[in-house]
Amino acid sequence: MSLSPNFGPRRDGLRPELVVLHYTAMADCAAAQRVLCTPEREVSAHYLIRRDGKVVALVDEPMRAWHAGEGRWRGRGDVNSRSIGIELDNTGTTPFAAPLMDALEALLPGILSRWTIPPEGVIGHSCMAPGRKIDPGPRFDWQRLARAGLAVWPKTSATAPVDPDRFRADASTFGFPDVADDALLSAVRLRFRPWASGPLDGRDCAVMAEMAERFGLDKTSAPA
């Protein structure tokens, strides 16, 4: 039985094909849980993971939690109906606690298995809502999840010619939505190069070319 009242049925027969990771951006996890369980706030997630590693199940997985808001991934909206949402107890400015990361690494395999979600389906809130959201933020350890087969990460450190049009096309093929250039670059870097700064460079282009080649969706067959 769901602990949070903020949920409903998934729409149009949709089922989870993504896991969206968030941070709470609150100093107190108890306060975050209250928000996620307050009807007037109209926000929730399927899971909340505390800094001490305790996993709090808030909404049953088959139901539609209200965590993603407006955004798109792989050309499709209503991310809430297509995803499992996980809130991580973190302010966004500090490292993620080791017990929290251990718990996330233990939780994800079951979710991915139950819903047949591939590692590239584990994304950040910032990935599907560039310019609006930045969580789980630059301190999140995506490489750790990738090493465990629970997310994806570039295999090489190559660079490529700086080509803004090719970069945008590759980002779209991988899944990022069509947004302004600066928002797109910021979202790609939050996911793959959080330490990078400055204008688009050859490493940004190489990363997106690799991700598009390895995991890109065939846009000719993608639903509108």
Residue 20 CB contacts under 8 Å (≥ 6 apart), including other chains? 67, 68, 79, 83, 84, 85, 86, 123, 124, 125, 128
Residue 158 lies in a domain: no
For residue 15, the enclosing domain spans 7-147
Active centre residues (catalytic): 87
Tokens of 132: 């609006």
Same domain (yes/no): 38, 129: yes
Q: What CA–CA distance (Å, rounded) separates 204 from 80?
A: 29
Q: What distances in angstroms separate CA 69 from CA 6, 65, 83, 101, 120, one per listed residue?
A: 13, 10, 12, 24, 20
Return the pLDDT at 1. 72
Instruction: Kindly report, residue by residue over 142-191, the tens digit of the pLDDT.
Output: 999 999 999 999 999 999 999 999 999 999 999 999 999 999 999 999 99
Q: Is the pLDDT of residue 2 over 90?
A: no
pLDDT at 217: 78
User: Is the same domain home to 174 and 95?
Assistant: no
Residue 154 lies inside a defined structural domain of this protein: no
Q: How far apart are CA 53 and CA 67, in angstroms?
A: 21
Mean pLDDT of 60-66: 98
Number of domains in the chain: 2
Statement to judge: residues 118 and 204 lie in one domain:
no
Whether residues 123 and 184 fall in one domain? no
| Pairing state between β 55-57 and 7-8 | unpaired
> pTM for this one?
0.96
**Are the C-beta atoms of residues 184 and 132 closer than 8 Å to each other?**
no
The backbone torsions φ and ψ at residue 12, rounded to the nearest 5 degrees and listed phi first, read 55, 30
Question: How many residues does this entry show for the chain?
Answer: 224
Closest CA relative to residue 33, chosen from 56, 61, 62: 56
Which pLDDT tens digit goes with each residue over 40-55? 999 999 999 999 999 9
Compute the radius of gyration of the chain from its Cα atoms: 17
Amino acid letter at 122?
V
Phi, psi of 37 (to 5 degrees): -115, 5
